[in-house]
Amino acid sequence: MSDEIAHEAVKNVVIKPGHAVPASNIAVLNTLQNSDARVILRIARLEETAMIRGIDIVTIPVRNQDTALKFYTEKLGFKVATNQYFGEGKQRWIELLIPGAESRLALFTPEGFENRIGGFQPVTFRCDDVYATAEGLKSRGVKLASEPKKEVWGTMAKFRDPDGNEFVFSSK
């Protein structure tokens, strides 16, 4: 069996689920001593685990965390993951879950960054149907900054939160 696949172009070899090693490393392993092979495998694992895998938390700058919390949970349907004080109780970390998404939002403004509150935010929310989402948001009292519009890449619209932060929501 190994002779049958040895001559094919293989980029990665799966050693165990979730862990692939570049095939070039496997070829080198055959010519090295065991201690050298272990070093190469460690390097391959480090390269694999050192890569960025996605976005964990996006911070939304807000003036009033209570007002923002009410908006994002009641109007947008996000769920509270964390809501606690830290740093001698002067600051509060509010982390929200978006149902069905891995990424989370934090309603938090670090001291000295209050100038980031309001205006266009470089975050785009994904939805299945922009037109239906826009109608649903409007029915809950959310102000749209722009109505749904078809673009070559998909459909988009924009909404504003109580602090004037403006966000795009889109679908393909």
* Per-residue pLDDT tens over the stretch 130-151: 999 999 999 999 999 999 999 9
Burial 125-158 (b: 16+ CB within 10 A, else e): bbbeebeebbeebeeeebebeeebeeeeeebbbb
Any bridge partners for residue 125, and if so which?
Answer: 169
From the list 143, 57, 40, the residue with the least C-alpha distance to 107 is 57
4-59: pLDDT as tens digits: 444 444 455 555 455 555 555 455 445 555 666 666 666 666 666 668 888 999 99
Where does the pLDDT of residue 1 fall: very low under 50, low under 70, confident under 90, or very high at 90 and above? very low
- The pTM of the full predicted model, rounded to 2 decimals, is 0.71
Q: Which domains does the chain have, with CATH numbers?
A: 2-49 (no CATH), 57-171 (3.10.180.10)
- Exposed / middle / buried, residue 98 (Cβ in 10 Å: 0-12, 13-18, 19+): middle
- The answer to whether the beta carbons of residues 22 and 11 sit under 8 Å apart is yes
